[in-house]
Amino acid sequence: MNKKRRPYTIILLTIFILISACSNKTKETSEDIQEMDEEQITVFAVSTTLSVEGEIKDYLQLNGDVTAKTTVDTFADTAGKLNKLFIKVGDTVRKDQIIAEVDPSRPGMTFASSPVKASISGTVTQVPIQIGSQIAPSQIIAKISKMDEMEIIIYVPERFISKMRTGLSAIIKTAAYPGEIFTGSIQELSPVVDQISRTMEVKIRLNDMSSKLKAGMFVEVKIITEEKSGIVKLPAEALINRFGEYYVFVLTEDNESNERHIAEKRLVTPGLRMDNQLEILNGLLGGEVVVVRGQTLIENQSMVKIVSTVDPLSVSDEVQ
């Protein structure tokens, strides 16, 4: 070899070695970055449930009082002194039974006692007078009620009057019997609205004339104002409302991992909401996997992992 060309050969070999080294280094760096990208993918932990197709009921919750459907006041026929009383609260009386006597005598004038007769057959629920009291014809001697016919009276605010109609079902509960449910339906609507309270009186007939409910009891009443069936519903907590948009996250499978899923942002139109149940008018089908916990941390196409599942809502809607 020509000695003059040897230095050039050495230089060329050196350049070749350097280029090869750089190429290998670049390849290794690219692979390392790819591995780091895969390791740095954020996977969010979420809880899910299934949307269901079923029914939902809207109701109005109010308070009311149990009263006897028929209550009649009994009066004396004449003024005088009540000298005899034959009844007490809780007694059962017959129509025209003598329940008291009034002495109409005056100073210098003596008259026979005037009997006070029961106006109807029933149970004595109130005796507001005592023996020896001076009685006027306008004064109540006793209240007599038919206890086998009970009803519940509630007062509905004016803004809800449009929802009221006879025949609507009612769910009734009382603190006297925790966990026990009584049922009834609207029997009568007042034709007027009270000008002071701005409420309308509504009477509810009990389906079961149970002796457990006593006149004067305070009760909690839920009036079923609307029933929908064949609708899609899910827990209300799954819904997100941001910047005027309503949406939920629906999961799809990740082809690269059986443990990971992709969260798809799904715009929906919410409908009726009762308790923890939410009706979805459109944007969602029954049987889809929806995120109910952890959805506030994720965005569209986020990678997630299911850590727990929540039982789906019941297809039926039993108002309690």
pLDDT confidence band for 252 (50 / 70 / 90): confident
One domain, residues 84 and 135: yes
In angstroms, rounded to a whole number, what is the distance separating the alpha carbons of residues 91 and 258?
75
pLDDT confidence band for 235 (50 / 70 / 90): very high
One domain, residues 113 and 78: yes
What pLDDT sits at residue 210? 67
Residues 24-35: pLDDT tens digits? Answer: 544 444 444 444
Is 261 within 8 Å of 253 (Cβ atoms)? yes
Q: Specify if 14 maps to a domain.
A: no
One domain, residues 51 and 86: no
CA dihedral 153, 156, 162, 163 (to 10 degrees): -70
One domain, residues 242 and 289: yes
What pLDDT sits at residue 222? 96
Domain tally, the chain:
3
What pLDDT sits at residue 15? 58
One domain, residues 213 and 178: yes
Strand partners, 169: 185
Q: Specify if 79 maps to a domain.
A: yes
Residues 122-153: pLDDT tens digits? Answer: 999 999 999 999 999 989 999 999 988 889 99
What pLDDT sits at residue 34? 46
One domain, residues 63 and 103: no
In angstroms, rounded to a whole number, what is the distance separating the alpha carbons of residues 158 and 152?
19
One domain, residues 114 and 239: no
Residue 109 has pLDDT above 50, yes or no: yes
One domain, residues 165 and 180: yes
* More confident call, 264 vs 317: 264
Domain CATH number, residue 183: 2.40.30.170
Task: Report the helix count and the strand count for the chain, using DSSP H and E.
Answer: 1, 22
Residue 93 has pLDDT above 90, yes or no: yes
β-pairing, 302-309 vs 43-50, is parallel
CA-to-CA separations, 128 to 66, 73, 90, 125, in angstroms, rounded: 20, 11, 13, 10
Is 117 within 8 Å of 96 (Cβ atoms)? yes
Is 123 within 8 Å of 42 (Cβ atoms)? no
What is the span of the domain harbouring residue 256? 43-56+229-309
Q: Specify if 24 maps to a domain.
A: no
Residue 136 CB burial class (10 angstroms; 0-12, 13-18, ≥19): exposed
